[in-house]
Structure 1
Amino acid sequence: MPWTAAQIAAHLQGEVAGNPDIELTGFAPAKAAKTGDLTFAENDEYFEAARQSAASAILVAADYPAGDKTLIKVKNARVAFARVLPLFFPERRPPAGVHPTAVVAAGAQVDATAAVGPYCVVAAGAIIGPGTILESHVHVGEGARVGADCRLFPHVTLYPGVQLGQRVRVHAGTVIGSDGFGYVMDEGKHLKVPQIGTVIIHDDVEIGANVTIDRGALGPTVIGRGTKIDNLVQIAHNVTIGEHCIIVAQVGIAGSTSLGNYVVLAGQVGIAGHLKIGNQVTVAAQSGVMHDIPDGQKWLGSPAQPDRQTKRQLIAITQLPDLIRRVRELEQKLEKMGEGAEAQRASDPAP
């Protein structure tokens, strides 16, 4: 569907410099753009590339001259980029209804506006909210609840009792509500501690592919509103994650740890159990966190420490080879001085 520059500007609360009636039929990066495409530029380098491209219009944040291109000026080009893409690439929605191959148990509730895809299973007592989409082979366990306008991609598994809020997206292969890793030693064997809690996912959470979120041992494991979780993340039992956190790929969070709001865990961060990570904390990639972290701090390293402290240590490590060389040189000088003093004593006449 074509959009005029004026329509796009109105959608983004921006303004047009140039031809407001030009029709735009697609969105592409500058290198691949063709006539009719909109592209975007968030800095001078990108703008120069966009200006020289075949694109018909450019989405910009700065006060660039229009020249032969129509500009759509906005407060933040990257935010506008995210908001304009759905106009040109709307997400496919299957028709409402239950596919003939799906199994919906008696007593399950599926809203008439929901879509349940091929070979899905919706167990007894489960609730599927309005506008929600279950793609193929999704399993929703007994008593699980999925709110309005959620989307569960193929092969997602929700164990019994799991609760999803509204507008939650869960990507392929993710398992929510599997047993927490809880055992006690009994007579030389590992005795399983029954995991009888659940998982609560609040509104506007997005969970990547092949993520595993364990159910609580007693109470719930909780993921706060607006949090985004990347692929291949492991979240253990009774973890609590606050609102609007970013959890990047291959992070592992051990049991009963709590994260505040707006926490960022970069790739492959590991966090030990029973810790408290404050609000607006950032942990750098591949860090191993063994201690509580107060609000607002940045930590890195393994074991992780405040970033300035770790950076000083890393700088000191890079200086070690030179320090070792200098110490050896001093040792050699001292040895020579000692040999010289010994020779001098040997040559002195006896008293």
Structure 2
Amino acid sequence: MASITLQEIGRHVGGTLCGPPELEIVGIAPADVAAQGFMTFAENEAYLQKALGSEASALLIPRTEVEVDRPHVQVDHVRVAFAKILALLHPEPKPIAGIHPSAVVDPTAQLDETVHVGPNCVIEKHAILGPGVVLTSQVYVGPRCSLGADCKLFPQVTLYADTMLGDRVRIHAGSVLGSDGYGYVLDEGFHRKIPQVGHVAIEDDVEIGANVTIDCGALGATRIGKGSKIDNLVQIGHNVVIGEHSIVIAQSGIAGSSRIGRYVILAGQSGIAGHLSIGDKAVVAAQSGVMHSIPAGEKWMGSPAQPDRKAKRQLIAITQLPEWMKKLKAQFLKDKEL
């Protein structure tokens, strides 16, 4: 098992080292399972006591004046440092550049010499794959798709024609980008299909979970902004625009032509109706059904969704209904006796 020193960790996270710099660390683990040679972490005083009770050789803790009788590294943000240390201890393997014999690559496709194309991948005509792109296995890249530097596509990802990926985009297994948007018009009792002739554009540093579907635009692009993170099993309709650094959590759905701002959080199983606007830094609670646009910075919840304070008052009132019904019935019986 590879190891790093406490000094290397301190330098990597910009922390303050307290303890022997040569101490070897082989991993990082929660306090209840951390063993000798491991580092554990504590974000607050309560977790610090648990960490001190563990067998961990070193601690990762917030900056504090409290004396800690264990080798440790103090940092400004424990969770950020934790992520950096994990990446340091577990670097992602880089596949060897090359094209597997079972892959099918159109002669007009342009592949950088550093690309890795795994078994049974298909790359169609005029596709462009930039430096360091990794297609693991059974990945389909449609005509005229463009993949920026260091993108990684996991097994059975499908990119329909004209899909554009920025740099460092990660797409997990089974996701489909660019399938037809759900567009029909009723014509004399028949649902006539509206051709979907747009595309999907994914900006830099976006990560897309497993089995996500992102429809192409009817006209123009369905766009996911820089740094946004899409969880598993999310559906994004045609011509949706998601701003930079937003988070869409599992089983959420966004109907066509809605615009999601920057740093928005859509919690699990939330639903956004079509043609709405969700302002920057808005938060939508889990299982909320959003039927109206939400101003920037507001928190909404419920179905139909409404501002969270209003929704919470209504929920409290609902829990009090049985007691009020009991009181009302008693008063009714009392009045009847009179």
Using the size of structure 2 for normalisation, the TM-score is 0.97
Is 1:21 the counterpart of 2:22? The answer is yes
Cross-structure match for 1:349: none
Amino acid at match of 1:137: Q
What's the CA shift string for 1:56-105, capped at 9, x where partnerless? 111111424231x2101111111100011011111122101111111111
**Deviation (angstroms), 1:318:** 1.1
**Deviation (angstroms), 1:50:** 2.0
Work out the CA distance in 1 between the residues paired with 2:55 and 2:333: 69
Is 1:155 the counterpart of 2:156? The answer is yes
What's the CA shift string for 1:254-274, capped at 9, x where partnerless? 000001101100000011101
Cross-structure match for 1:32: 33
Q: Counterparts of 1:167-186 in structure 2 under 5 Å?
A: 167-186=168-187
**Deviation (angstroms), 1:2:** 2.0
SS in 2 for 1:293: coil
Work out the CA distance in 1 between the residues paired with 2:328 and 2:248: 45
> Is the CA contact (8 Å cut-off) linking 1:6 and 1:15 kept in structure 2?
no
Work out the CA distance in 1 between the residues paired with 2:313 and 2:31: 41
Work out the CA distance in 2 between the residues paired with 1:204 and 1:251: 21
Cross-structure match for 1:91: 92
Amino acid at match of 2:67: P
Work out the CA distance in 2 between the residues paired with 1:50 and 1:332: 61
Work out the CA distance in 2 between the residues paired with 1:256 and 1:234: 13
Amino acid at match of 2:275: H
SS in 2 for 1:200: strand
SS in 1 for 2:201: strand
Unpaired segments ≥5 residues, structure 1: 338-351
Is 1:128 the counterpart of 2:129? The answer is yes
**Deviation (angstroms), 1:315:** 1.1
> Is the CA contact (8 Å cut-off) linking 1:18 and 1:66 kept in structure 2?
no
> Is the CA contact (8 Å cut-off) linking 1:144 and 1:158 kept in structure 2?
yes
Work out the CA distance in 2 between the residues paired with 1:328 and 1:2: 71
Work out the CA distance in 1 between the residues paired with 2:63 and 2:303: 41
**Deviation (angstroms), 1:319:** 1.3
Cross-structure match for 1:345: none
Is 1:3 the counterpart of 2:4? The answer is yes
Cross-structure match for 1:346: none
Cross-structure match for 1:296: 297
Amino acid at match of 1:213: I
Cross-structure match for 2:229: 228
SS in 1 for 2:94: coil
Q: Which has the larger radius of gyration?
A: 1
**Deviation (angstroms), 1:185:** 1.1
Is 1:248 the counterpart of 2:242? The answer is no
Q: Counterparts of 1:235-274 in structure 2 under 5 Å?
A: 235-274=236-275
SS in 1 for 2:12: helix
> Is the CA contact (8 Å cut-off) linking 1:269 and 1:285 kept in structure 2?
yes
Unpaired segments ≥5 residues, structure 2: none
Percentage of matched positions with identical amino acids: 57
SS in 2 for 1:46: helix
Is 1:282 the counterpart of 2:286? The answer is no
SS in 2 for 1:29: coil
RMSD, aligned α-carbons: 1.0
Q: Counterparts of 1:47-66 in structure 2 under 5 Å?
A: 47-63=48-64, 64-66=66-68
Using the size of structure 1 for normalisation, the TM-score is 0.94
What's the CA shift string for 1:287-342, capped at 9, x where partnerless? 000001111110001000011111111111111111111111111111111xxxxx
Work out the CA distance in 2 between the residues paired with 1:48 and 1:285: 32
What's the CA shift string for 1:137-187, capped at 9, x where partnerless? 000000001100111010000000000000101000000000000011112
Cross-structure match for 1:325: 326
**How many residues were matched structurally?**
336
